[in-house]
Amino acid sequence: MTIQYWRIRDRYYRLVGSKCTNCGDEFFPPVYRCRGCGSEHLKDKEMPKEGKIVTYTQLHEPLPGFEAQAPFYLAVIELENGARVLSQVVDSPDESVKSGAKVRATVRRAKVDGETGQITYGYKFIVDN
């Protein structure tokens, strides 16, 4: 287990993105160049865990490595700071998954590597009723 692995895991667990020190725009996942003003002066910034669904789709065809999870919802979520995230919506009744629904980030097991058995964790969202 390398230090780098844990560092990445920690980033996902804490939902760390970037904040532009020039114009103040915030991004997630982290970026190296501000999409607002083009500045390369960015710093790590923990993102809010609450947001809302902007748009979503239900996927019936599983992605490689995600077979056990089909069908599932993939949504564009706007966090409270305006950053937009493409993520799965899990553990939520079908009727609750809709545009404008409030969601909360959670960290879940995302994928198991069949050969090494290594488990990858990632952020997902749950509809917050």
Interacting residues with Zn ion (CB under 5 A) = 20, 22-23, 25, 34, 36-37, 39
Smallest separation, CB 52 to Zn ion (Å): 23
Smallest separation, CB 88 to Zn ion (Å): 29
How many CB atoms neighbour CB 3 within 10 A?
A: 7
Q: Which is nearer to Zn ion, 34 or 83 (CB)?
A: 34
Q: Which is nearer to Zn ion, 28 or 125 (CB)?
A: 28
Q: Which is nearer to Zn ion, 39 or 106 (CB)?
A: 39
Peptide bond into 48 cis (omega under 30): no
Q: Which is nearer to Zn ion, 30 or 36 (CB)?
A: 36
The radius of gyration of the chain's CA atoms, rounded to the nearest angstrom, is: 16
Q: Which residues are within 8 A (CB) of 55 and not within 5 positions of it... i.e. 6 or more apart?
A: 75, 76, 99
Smallest separation, CB 17 to Zn ion (Å): 13
Token digits of residue 90: 């899990």
Smallest separation, CB 81 to Zn ion (Å): 13
First-residue to last-residue Cα distance in the chain: 38
CA distance 122 to 88: 10
